[in-house]
Amino acid sequence: MIIISPDTELPALLDITLSGVAGINSSLHLYGQNNDLITSSDNNPAGIGEEIMGIGITKPGSYYVMVTAKGYASSDQPYKIMYDLRKHNVSEEMEPNNNFNSANQFVQNHMKGRISSDGDRDFFLYRSGSGRKDFYRIEVRPPEAVDAKISLYDKNRNLIISLDNSGAGGNEVFPNFCSTEDFFIVISAKHNQFSSNYYTLSVDQLDKPNTMETEPNDTKGKASPVNGGSITGYTSYKKDIDYFLLEYDRRVKIEFVIEGVKDGEIKVSITDPLGYILKSVTVKHNIQKNLTEFVDKKGYIIVESIRENYDNPYRIDLKSGN
């Protein structure tokens, strides 16, 4: 039993460690005030201990730890349980946070957490609510052993997109996520991948959103409008396609001045009003290429990602002639 006294500064985080016993496959459980199970840990094979990390304690009182062994195995070798109650830092996850209702709220622009067991999912709520289009770079940097995945949900809990572009230890990035309202970020990992090391999750607002594409814009129907004489976009994920809508009141000759993606490669096409490609150019790296085409009142610019780079944008300036 762990007693949390009323003088303890709360919320706090509780870590519990169970030592291993040779030949025993143990599991560790934490129960709360009314004998309700808060969480369990059964990650490791026989002979290796278990850990329960970063459980949020918000109320004083009695908490119970239970240790069980699988099958009928027994041993006269003793085990040890250690626990530590530490101050909660607002930028650390608080378990359990395994569903929308228990999502941890972002206070600063970064969070750290752990995929602490097989199937652990960490829900975070980012409060935006400005009502206008804001753009964010969202990035998770996992520890070496973990192949992380980011899933983004709108405030009504509908999935917007899942990103799983890199392998174990690799960052997952959405360079220009657009939202006008609160959104959820869920961090998870591939089956059987967990670690007692932290990942970090950051959400940084981009400064210059006025010419930025609005994802998702991967089809004609979701094309981003072209505001003014230039557009900016990213190869936002693997095999990303970006559509931009061109609209004029007459047939116009346009020179498209394209600056490619540094350390990336894109294919830029101009289409007729129905979306059939008239002209294409491939742009490697951030070199500049020009394309001139007539747009008969309506057309599309299509930017296809050939080699993604999540750090650098492309830019296209439109110069209309006669």
Interaction of residue 259 with Ca ion, rule CB under 5 A: no
To Ca ion, the closest distance from the beta carbon of 70 in angstroms equals 24
> Is the CB of 21 or the CB of 88 nearer to Ca ion?
88
Answer for which of 139, 240, 259, 293 binds Ca ion (CB under 5 A) is 240
Interaction of residue 218 with Ca ion, rule CB under 5 A: yes
> Is the CB of 73 or the CB of 90 nearer to Ca ion?
90
> Is the CB of 60 or the CB of 315 nearer to Ca ion?
315
Q: Count the site residues for Ca ion by CB under 5 A.
A: 14
To Ca ion, the closest distance from the beta carbon of 24 in angstroms equals 26
To Ca ion, the closest distance from the beta carbon of 111 in angstroms equals 10
Answer for which of 39, 193, 202, 236 binds Ca ion (CB under 5 A) is 236
Token pair listed for 153 = 């949900």
Binding mask 75-114 for Ca ion (x = CB under 5 A): ----------------------xx--------------xx
> Is the CB of 58 or the CB of 74 nearer to Ca ion?
58
Region of 102-110, 226-234, 271-279, 288-296 interacting with Ca ion (CB under 5 A): 226-234
Q: Which amino acid is at 300?
A: Y
To Ca ion, the closest distance from the beta carbon of 241 in angstroms equals 5
To Ca ion, the closest distance from the beta carbon of 69 in angstroms equals 25
User: Distance (Å, rounded) from C-alpha 310 to C-alpha 322?
Assistant: 36
To Ca ion, the closest distance from the beta carbon of 23 in angstroms equals 30
User: Distance (Å, rounded) from C-alpha 243 to C-alpha 204?
Assistant: 25
Answer for which of 50, 51, 172, 242 binds Ca ion (CB under 5 A) is 242
> Is the CB of 114 or the CB of 137 nearer to Ca ion?
114
To Ca ion, the closest distance from the beta carbon of 102 in angstroms equals 8
Interaction of residue 308 with Ca ion, rule CB under 5 A: no
> Is the CB of 49 or the CB of 233 nearer to Ca ion?
233
Q: What is the dihedral of CA 112, 116, 121, 125, to 10 degrees?
A: -20
Answer for which of 233, 260, 264, 313 binds Ca ion (CB under 5 A) is 233
**Parallel, antiparallel, or unpaired: how do β-strands 26-31 and 110-113 relate?**
unpaired
Interaction of residue 122 with Ca ion, rule CB under 5 A: yes
Interaction of residue 120 with Ca ion, rule CB under 5 A: yes
Region of 23-31, 37-45, 217-225, 255-263 interacting with Ca ion (CB under 5 A): 217-225
Q: What is the 3-state secondary structure (H, E, C) of the chain?
A: CEEECCCCCCCEEEEEEECCCCCCCEEEEEECCCCCEEEEECCCCCCCCEEEEEEEECCCEEEEEEEEECCCCCCCCCCCEEEEEEECCCCECCECCCCHHHCEECCCCEEEECCCCCCCCEEEEECCCCCCCEEEEEEEECCCCCCEEEEEEECCCCEEEEECCCCCCCCEEEEEEEECCCEEEEEEECCCCCCCCCEEEEEEECCCCCCECCCCCCCHHHCEECCCCEEEECCCCCCCEEEEEEEEEEEEEEEEEEECCCCCEEEEEEECCCCCEEEEEEEECCCEEEEEEEEEEEEEEEEEEEECCCCCCEEEEEEECC
User: Distance (Å, rounded) from C-alpha 280 to C-alpha 72?
Assistant: 69
Return residues touching Ca ion (CB under 5 A).
97-98, 113-114, 120, 122, 215, 217-218, 233-234, 236, 240, 242
